[in-house]
Amino acid sequence: MNTTPPPSPQARPVRRTTVLLGAAAVLAALTGCGTDAPADRAAEGPVKPVRATAPTASPKPPAVRGLPGMPPVLDPRDVYAADRPGKLSPVVKAFPSRIYVPNTESDTVTVIDPKTRKVIGTIPVGHQPQHVVPSWDLKTLWVNNNRGHTLTPIDPRTGKAGKPVDVHDPYNLYFTPDGKNAVVMASLDRQLVFRDPHTMKIRHTEPVSCYGVNHADFSPDGRYFIVSCEFSGELLKVDTARMKVVAQQKLPFQGAMPQDVKISPDGKKFYVADMMADGMWVLDGNTFSKPTLLPTGKGTHGLYVSRDSKEMYVTNRGEGSISVFDFAQDKLTKKWKLPQGGSPDMGGVSADGTTLWLSGRYDAEVYAVDTRTGAQVARIPVGRGPHGLAVYPQPGRYSLGHTGIFR
């Protein structure tokens, strides 16, 4: 910023006159101050007072025209505005705080009390449970029994499991922002299966040509979502209302294995973790442009946004670390390494935002990490092959699925 003061106004020429001027007038003329004589001001007319101009306010961003039936977007500048600490929905306020850990090789869900950091229960479920997914209406947790071809409902109020529902190849589960459909990521079937979000009856099956559909996230207006295809290294763009794939692209990395997907708070970028490219891809979802790779660490897998929407925690499963990405600075700012290593995979942030809970996929354990310091505060043994654990309840008005994407 230029701090040099502006030059003084030039003095008006002093006319020679035979009239004896008063001392004050002579002094003003000789010093050349930038004031006019009273006679001059009178000739020019009355001086109008100058009003201070108020600072221009930042223009209010336009409202988001969302998918019909979708709850209104709270803040066009932040899709996670409903996820602040303490903003629990009335639906979940009576639910006890728990960590639900699906153990893919033990066919169980381990239940942890986050306050005591102790295992308080084990729930038998179907074969190869992959993720514990909060329903759109926040009332149910669905356990995705991938090879058992069922979904096991858990009542988060009581922690009791209900009768399993037959659903083929439920690797992962999402819900459209209007709450009208569940979307099953049928990984090996090569399908996106749109179902009734309560009964799970099929409404539409969308075949895909890629292999290994697994993770997704939605645009701010909910009108499309981006899907990762793990085994063929591809991305899909899906029209939500039409339930149709509208675009597809191959990632520019030999052997790419895309995993978790997250949108930026301002809705302008999508981030896709890639466990073989050891980083996350960044792309514009609207244009579905060619993505660029930001290296983060070996085996990049899970993506979790902080409660203040300022940072994103990136799990590097292959090196036992968590990278911290700053949205405003558009760069990685920190890396937290787990003591004695580990395999941080999927998880979620505590309701108050102070703890990041992650499964240790290859180590039969769960990690609790302090989000203020990066220090490990707990390491808890669980069943074999822990994967998509859910921290529940969390702030938000409704769930888009996975281990907890809330809006």
Q: In the chain, where are the structural domains located?
A: 81-392
pTM value > 0.75? yes
CATH of span 81-392: 2.130.10.10
Model pLDDT, residue 65? 85
What pLDDT is stored for residue 319 in this prediction? 98
Supply the pLDDT for residue 19. 32
**Which amino acid is it at 45?**
G
Distances (CA, A) of 341 to 299, 313, 324: 13, 17, 17
- Residue 347 CA to residue 366 CA, distance in Å, equals 9
Provide φ and ψ at 331, rounded to 5°: -160, 165
The owner of tokens 């645009």 is 219
Please state the three-class secondary structure of 95-149 as a single string: CCCEEEEEECCCCEEEEEECCCCEEEEEEECCCCEEEEEECCCCCCEEEEECCCC
Which parts of the chain sit beneath pLDDT 70?
1-60
Which pLDDT does position 59 carry in this prediction?
64
